[in-house]
Structure 1
Amino acid sequence: MEIVKLRDDIYYVGAVDWNVRSFHGYTTNRGATYNAYLIIDEKITLIDTVKEPFAEELLERISEIIDPSKIDYIVSNHVEMDHSGAIPAVMEVAKNATIVTSAPSGLKGLQAHYGDKYNYQTVKAGDTLSLGKRSLTFVATPMLHWPDNMVTYCSEEKILFSNDAFGQHYASSKHFDDEVDMAVVMQEAEKYYANILMPYGKQANQAIDIVQSLPLEMIAPSHGVILRTHITEMLDKYRYFCSEENEKRALVVYDSMWHSTEKMAQAILEGFKKAGVECILYDLKENHISDIATQVLKAEYLVVGSPTLNTNILPTVGAFLTYMKGLSPKGKKGFAFGSYGWAAQNVAIIQKELEAMKVEIIKEPIKMNYVPTKEQLREIEEEVAELIVG
């Protein structure tokens, strides 16, 4: 196997998942990686592991460098199984290794997953672990995105092992940012942030403050490429992601049964265009909610529509609203719309969900009985344009 070196005696030993297309409910069209790192020192240390199906690949990569049974420490920055899943396989070989994890959440989580048969050592923010020539300092990043999360900093090498922060689901045969197309990396970083970290903007901001205070030459995340050339750009991008600053852009998101709600969506879109607002139309039958979430992250307006179905809304729209409510987008404005036959519950249901998401409701719901006429569609277009301009 290819040996990927970050520094002398520091190696990438993770796995590339070329075929995964769904992760945490969102699409990973470019695959993913599960990054793990090996430090050869007086104490041999493995930082994070990989998803369980890739445990054999992890051990094979380590074996190209050193006998895995000689591992002294396994640093678990995060309990989630895409990072910790191979711990049992590694511990089966490195029987005397100590698992280093955060206190108390990391220990609680690892024991819940893998039992208490291993030798655990807990650390808290600011604790340092000596490896010999190098040392590791641990920085707690709780709720970025689980309570146990932490990052690990090697001051002698100026490397931050950042776990989920600054990562991307992006499979590549290259492992460093200056070897790949950074425009693609940034797209995937934004999608990752929007679908995983959006609810935790405050925590992300605090983490950036900490990171920017460190002498730093490399960020080694647990997903995607290692940053050594574009660190400043990524930190600036993250600062923008976690701010509540929005772009003047409108998203019109809908599903339709017999095209009536679709016609309304198109009229609303034309209204935003007339008001000079960039806008995007998303039919939920054709677009995945995770791709829409990436646009929601920095859009100012979110308008959602559905017809009535059995005194409720279409399942696609319900799923989108549930997904977005969990992501808790900040600083949005919007309203509900939709057509109906004999029961007009749809728009009230949508508005209630928007309000639960803390969306500022800027207009009463727009509802149309059965098929809207051309005149009614023109009225919708003018109403929206006047609302935004006014």
Structure 2
Amino acid sequence: MNTVSVEILKDLYYMGVNDRETNLFENMWPLPEGVAYNSYLITDEKTALLDTVKITKVDGFIDSLKDNLGGRNLDYLVVHHMEPDHSGCIKTVRDLYPEVTIVGNKKTKSMMSDYLDIEIGNFVEVKDGDTLDLGNRKLTFVNTPMVHWPESMVSYESTDKILFSQDIFGGFGALNGTIFDDEMNFEFFQDEMRRYYSNIVGKYSKQAAKALQKVKALDINIICPVHGIVWRTNPDRIVDEYIKYANQVNEEGVVIAYGSMYGNTEKMADYLARFLAEEGIKNVKVFDVSKTHVSYILSEIWKYKGVIIGSCTYNNSVYPNVNQLLYTLKMNKLNNHVLGIFGSYGWSGGAVKELSEFASEGGNFEVVPTVVETKGTMKEDDVEGLKKMAKEMAGLLKAE
């Protein structure tokens, strides 16, 4: 079954596709659980398709669209977001329904020209607060720029109190028969939802927090995002979760991420983890940056307040895979974290120096005072230093 079509309410259809073939989202982020692309169709006095799906799923999507329209024409195509996994079928839909009116904001129109290289044709430009009357249902538009593209917007249907939220409230993971929140365990979806937010939207958390203030003020019964599950029973849960993500509200716990060539830095990480446990920190996650993709490490850092980064010295510098982690963390503008650093070197240092520079410019950190730098393998003084670092980290976390 290429496209899953489910009636959400009378004259409102979910039309989504599961993508289990793509290995890397945006050619960067692993998709071991796949991903869903969601579209919605309203068949009121006027018909409106809300976004499309990735072009690789076009055949089944068009078949589902025709079936749900039941021979009717398509009056409107609402474009909330121009990213190709949601705009991929616009040309096909326009070819099939040449009289369709496309609805978007000013930036949408220019991006359609840039990305699709088509004559736009009938186009209605909407601004904040503008309304599209479909009959019994009316869509009111709210611009959410840079959440996470400049043209991004959402729409609110006031009759049934439905928010069509584009990428907001989305998550990684194919929908394995479960379309709605009351059909699945939230915990089953939560990790991939947080990994989606932290890697795709995280950089724009300041803008996301502003957009979520607008959303929180709405009376919402159902949330229809373009990735992930449809929230028809407890939409407040995903709204509150996203508000927590956007404001980087995190839990007590520590993520230790290290890069090691010959095991010396890895040994330091394991000692640190043990010392943290002895200090009463129950949530400790240890990651080898050469084994675990950075997207998973970032997601766990988004969850936990404590971050400790360790690196061996490589060519008088930080280990390359640690450098990739530092770049990712800096790009995503971390806030509200406690940071510790440690490292090792053979004959000439460099890694800890660069980690210290990151501590001062890579985000808004409270930095643990003790830094441990080992020459070769750990000595007794280094072990004592790691104990002290663990005690300081635990103290700062528990003080919160």
Is the pair's TM-score, using the shorter chain for normalization, greater than 0.5? yes
Kindly state the Cα deviation for residue 340 of structure 1 after the two structures are TM-superposed: 0.9
Which amino acid counterpart does residue 35 of structure 1 have in structure 2?
N
SS where residue 214 of structure 2 aligns? Answer: helix
Conservation of the 8 A alpha-carbon contact between 1:98 and 1:118 = no
Which amino acid counterpart does residue 361 of structure 1 have in structure 2?
V
1:123 pairs with 2:129:
no
**Residue 213 (structure 1) aligned to one of 211, 217, 231:** 217
1:62 pairs with 2:65:
yes
Kindly state the Cα deviation for residue 377 of structure 1 after the two structures are TM-superposed: 4.2
**Residue 375 (structure 2) aligned to one of 366, 369, 373:** 369
1:158 pairs with 2:173:
no
Deviates more, 1:71-80 or 1:263-272: 263-272
Matches of 1:386 and 1:161 in 2, distance apart? 47
Deviates more, 1:155-164 or 1:58-67: 58-67
1:202 pairs with 2:206:
yes
**Residue 360 (structure 2) aligned to one of 349, 355, 362:** 355
* Structure 1 counterpart of 2:335: 330
Conservation of the 8 A alpha-carbon contact between 2:370 and 2:388 = no
Deviates more, 1:163-172 or 1:75-84: 163-172
Which amino acid counterpart does residue 238 of structure 1 have in structure 2?
Y
* Structure 2 counterpart of 1:110: 112
Q: Deviations over 1:52-111 (max 9, x none)?
A: 1111221011121226882121111011111111111111111111211122x2222222
Kindly state the Cα deviation for residue 140 of structure 1 after the two structures are TM-superposed: 1.0
Kindly state the Cα deviation for residue 275 of structure 1 after the two structures are TM-superposed: 2.6
Percentage identity across aligned positions? 33
Kindly state the Cα deviation for residue 116 of structure 1 after the two structures are TM-superposed: 4.9
* Structure 1 counterpart of 2:293: 288
Unpaired segments ≥5 residues, structure 2: none
SS where residue 344 of structure 2 aligns? Answer: strand
SS where residue 18 of structure 2 aligns? Answer: strand
Q: 1:238 to 1:102 in 2, by over 3 A?
A: same
Matches of 1:353 and 1:148 in 2, distance apart? 32
SS where residue 261 of structure 1 aligns? Answer: helix
Matches of 2:374 and 2:137 in 1, distance apart? 68
Matches of 2:300 and 2:141 in 1, distance apart? 34
Matches of 2:70 and 2:99 in 1, distance apart? 13
SS where residue 118 of structure 1 aligns? Answer: coil
Kindly state the Cα deviation for residue 164 of structure 1 after the two structures are TM-superposed: 0.7
Kindly state the Cα deviation for residue 137 of structure 1 after the two structures are TM-superposed: 0.7
Kindly state the Cα deviation for residue 383 of structure 1 after the two structures are TM-superposed: 2.0
Q: How does 1:74-113 map to 2 (within 5 A)?
A: 74-103=77-106, 105-113=107-115
Q: 1:377 to 1:270 in 2, by over 3 A?
A: farther
SS where residue 228 of structure 1 aligns? Answer: coil
Matches of 1:69 and 1:347 in 2, distance apart? 66
* Structure 1 counterpart of 2:189: 185
SS where residue 159 of structure 2 aligns? Answer: coil
* Structure 1 counterpart of 2:76: 73
Conservation of the 8 A alpha-carbon contact between 1:335 and 1:351 = no
Q: 1:118 to 1:304 in 2, by over 3 A?
A: same
* Structure 2 counterpart of 1:383: 388
SS where residue 35 of structure 1 aligns? Answer: strand
SS where residue 267 of structure 2 aligns? Answer: helix
Q: Deviations over 1:170-213 (max 9, x none)?
A: 21223111112222123322222222222233333333332232
Conservation of the 8 A alpha-carbon contact between 1:253 and 1:304 = yes
1:148 pairs with 2:151:
yes
Matches of 1:92 and 1:125 in 2, distance apart? 29
Matches of 1:244 and 1:32 in 2, distance apart? 24
Conservation of the 8 A alpha-carbon contact between 2:276 and 2:391 = no
Q: 1:361 to 1:70 in 2, by over 3 A?
A: same
Matches of 1:164 and 1:35 in 2, distance apart? 10
* Structure 1 counterpart of 2:24: 22
Kindly state the Cα deviation for residue 295 of structure 1 after the two structures are TM-superposed: 1.2
Q: Deviations over 1:345-374 (max 9, x none)?
A: 11112222333322333235421112223x
Unpaired segments ≥5 residues, structure 1: none
1:243 pairs with 2:260:
no
Q: 1:379 to 1:296 in 2, by over 3 A?
A: same
Conservation of the 8 A alpha-carbon contact between 2:308 and 2:341 = yes
Conservation of the 8 A alpha-carbon contact between 2:340 and 2:389 = no
Matches of 2:113 and 2:79 in 1, distance apart? 12
Conservation of the 8 A alpha-carbon contact between 2:372 and 2:386 = no
Q: How does 1:263-282 map to 2 (within 5 A)?
A: 263-278=267-282, 279-282=284-287
1:168 pairs with 2:174:
no
Q: 1:27 to 1:319 in 2, by over 3 A?
A: same
RMSD between superposed Cα atoms in Å: 2.0
Q: How many residues align?
A: 388
